[in-house]
Amino acid sequence: MKTTWTTQKLITTAMLAAAAGALMSLEFPVPLMPPFYKIDFSDVPSIIALFLLGPVSAAWVEIIKILIKLVTVGTTTMYVGELANLLGVVLFVLPTWLVYSRMGKTKKAAWLSLGVSIPIRTLFACFCNAFITLPLYAKAMELPLDQVIQIVSSVNPAINNLTTFIILATIPFNVLKIGLNCVVAYLLYDRLRSAVRIFKPSCQ
């Protein structure tokens, strides 16, 4: 029974990772945002994996989806975007799982845990853009940081330095993207929850 359960969990994790990899490639731009800021719904499978299978499965879904995109599509951000996504895995999985598990793994706990994850991940995105991704872009392009910001933010003339980039691009984009993923994931999780009760014992 234990072996059968482990196999089921591995298969389900692999299927969710494959779905996440496909969804990560189906992205669309947002008006007045830098060209590398695109909306996709690849977090939906990892959120479902987190609630139904536990934090390890969710982390693997996140990691595998990045590898899938690199193999099938490649990178359009000189691997900077993929690095940022990889760094954000821990800040997505741990706080969300902590709130969800501590509150009894109920539907209310799911909503609250997702609500907590939005500001945490947005703050991380601000830090990541300010100190990791944008400096790496500048280094790769061999240009001053402010000049790189003006280049990548040419669609919005109001963005002319790091501060305005964070306020006018990073924060609203991440709140929008993470919020949409959380809403869609919750709606799907709520429908799948009753059909996968067999997985619950492994998530304790």
Domain boundaries, the chain: 2-25+40-203
pLDDT of residue 100: 93
Do residues 117 and 96 touch, judged by C-beta distance below 8 A?
Answer: yes
Q: What angle do CA 175, 55, 90 make, to 5 degrees?
A: 50
pLDDT of residue 140: 75
pLDDT of residue 176: 94
pLDDT-based confidence at 122, cuts 50/70/90? Answer: very high
Q: How far apart are CA 126 and CA 119, in angstroms?
A: 10
* Environment class of 137 (CB within 10 Å of its CB; exposed 0-12, middle 13-18, buried 19+): buried
pLDDT of residue 173: 93
Mean predicted confidence (pLDDT) in 105-131: 90
Read off the pTM: 0.82
Pick the CATH number of 2-25+40-203 from 1.10.10.10, 1.10.1760.20, 3.40.50.150, 1.10.287.990: 1.10.1760.20
